[in-house]
Amino acid sequence: MKKAILMTVLISALSVSQTITAQMPTPTPNNISLEYQLEKEAAGIAVSDDHRVFIALPRGGENHQLPSVVEMVGQKMIAFPNEEINKNTNSDYNSHLVSILGITIYKNTLWILDQGKRAGVDGIPDDSTKVVAVDINSKKVIKNIPIPKPFFRETIQLNDLRFDPTHGKEGTIYISNNGFAKPDQSLIVMDVATGKLRELFKDIPEVSPAKGFISYVDHKEQGCVQYDLHQDQDQPEVFFFYERWESREILEQHLKTDHLNTWGDQQKELLAAPMEVFIMDKL
């Protein structure tokens, strides 16, 4: 196997905002696309038939005090359905949106997946994991369906959801679980009318990471401003990563992540020479 040479430049930068694009549903005149500058990491986005845009701001990467679900009005984030339900609280989890990852819209209902995991908080509090349905016109909560143990656990990560109106008396929710910390992947099926849950396809290959797969930062990790891979024109075996991070502290956290440790263990097999790393400050 031909081995490569890798060099990386890491640059600490000033804080920046995240850009997220909302593609309007069809039919829409002129194929309208909107861009928003956000203060925090966005996880989910949903657009209604009348072009209202809703965004999920999870608290798993940063335990922020902003709402976890917002509606975009112009470039302004408005807590949805209200400020009270979005309060970052340490009690009454069932009545608050703790940390939202997935959102989806069916007709006039916004379905919200609360995975309950917040940065800096040990464990997932009881009553925090749930599916909440909100009428987007009245802004009233019309469903609050808990996800109890064992369907939530420390090794699970409830990532996204979809609503299926064709199965069940009031429809069916499908929730993807991509696992957390160790293999624990599955598909969770929720009957909306009864709240009954089933867990399917647990840890089978179709829902599990490919063996030997190495993830990499694609400008999506918290605090990552730029992450580009280059190849030398004259020496094609030489590769160069150019990275920019919001701060040195965030960069240090990135260097301690599990996927970087995994990469470190595999360098000897993949590289012809040790990787060179240069850490610089922008002038």
CA angle 129, 130, 136 (to 5 degrees): 135
Q: Which helix (H) or strand (E) holds 215?
A: none
Domains of the chain and CATH, by start: 5-12+222-281 (3.30.70.100), 42-207 (2.120.10.30)
Tell me which DSSP letter residue 216 carries: -
Is the CB of residue 86 less than 8 Å from the CB of residue 145? no
Is the CB of residue 119 less than 8 Å from the CB of residue 65? no
| CB atoms near residue 49 (< 10 Å) | 13
Q: How far apart are CA 184 and CA 203, in angstroms?
A: 6
Q: How far apart are CA 202 and CA 221, in angstroms?
A: 27
Q: How many helices (H) and strands (E) does the chain have?
A: 2, 18
Is the full-model pTM beyond 0.75?
no
Per-residue pLDDT tens digits of the chain, which is 283 residues long: 455 555 554 444 433 344 555 555 555 445 556 676 777 788 889 999 898 999 999 998 889 999 999 999 988 999 999 999 999 999 999 999 999 999 999 999 999 999 998 988 888 899 999 999 999 999 999 999 999 998 888 888 899 999 999 999 999 999 999 887 567 889 999 999 999 999 999 888 777 776 665 555 555 677 887 777 777 777 777 777 878 888 888 888 878 877 677 777 777 777 777 778 888 877 7
Q: How far apart are CA 66 and CA 17, in angstroms?
A: 14
Would you give the distance in Å from CA 174 to the centre of its chain?
17
Is the CB of residue 158 less than 8 Å from the CB of residue 175? yes
Q: Which residues pair with 267 in a beta bridge?
A: none
Burial 209-231 (b: 16+ CB within 10 A, else e): eeeeeeeeeeeebbbbbebeeee
Is the CB of residue 190 less than 8 Å from the CB of residue 145? yes
Residue 108: left if φ>0, alpha if ψ -120 to 50, beta else—which one? alpha
The label of the residue with tokens 């910390």 reads 181
Pairing of strands 141-146, 33-38: unpaired
Dihedral sign for Cα 204, 206, 212, 215, please.
negative
Residue 169 burial by CB count (10 A; 0-12/13-18/19+): exposed, middle or buried?
A: exposed
pLDDT the model gives residue 34: 65
Is the CB of residue 42 less than 8 Å from the CB of residue 64? no
